[in-house]
Amino acid sequence: MTKDFSVVFALFPHVTQLDFTGPYEVFARLPGARCTLASVAEGSIQADGGITFAGVVRLADVADCALLCVPGGFGTVAMLENEGYLFELRRLAATAQFITSVCTGSLLLAAAGLLQGKRAACHWAWRDLLRAFGVTPIADRVVRDGNVTTGGGVTAGIDMALATLAILPPAIGALRFRPERIRLDATIHAAEEANRLVVAEGIPFREAYQRVRDNLKR
């Protein structure tokens, strides 16, 4: 890459930390990735589980980003009426290549007018509220519509990030071809094959796994 791939996580008080820390771990491993935690006010943010995140910058001080990620959480309701926050989402989304959300974060994108006429995922308990913003709620774990990728509740955030990774241009998504990723895929494949042997032959998993590994070396 010739320049940084800027990823901004638009946080707020009482955000669900896993909504953004899961995707953070995926996006932070992209070549040239520069991940920023930002909110309306700089300083620190306390998540809804009590964890405090320091070093949060002001959204207004972020010039632009390649990817915008909006998490959800118990603080979503307050942010739906925070015009300053919604304004910053609209501003950053205007030039972002990719717009993403996790859980009730899609409601915040919708409230900012960024999902009008689109399909989107959301936490199951809040999903139907998307209709009020002219958005079609979809029960899938991950939904992609144009340059917008939305994830369902909490743990779907990692799936959303991986789905986004799959559509990045090759120069950005080069992580997919790194040797360590290839080794991880081989390990997963070996475990799957071992499980099949356990079911088919009734042998212990350790023995089945070793047999698969030995076959791979030949």
Q: Collect all residues with Cβ–Cβ distance below 8 Å to 65 and sequence separation of at least 6.
A: 6, 7, 8, 36, 92, 95, 96
Q: Which residues pair with 8 in a beta bridge?
A: 36, 68
Pick the closest to residue 86 from 56, 107, 57 (CA basis). 107
Q: State the Cα–Cα distance between residues 55 and 120, nearest whole angstrom.
A: 31
Alpha-carbon dihedral angle through residues 62, 146, 137, 23, given to the nearest 10 degrees? -50
Amino acid at 99: I
Q: Reduced to 3 states, what is the DSSP secondary structure of residue 208? A: helix
The catalytic residue among 35, 65, 103, 122 is 103
Respond yes or no: is residue 69 known to be catalytic: no
Q: Active-site residues: which are they?
A: 103
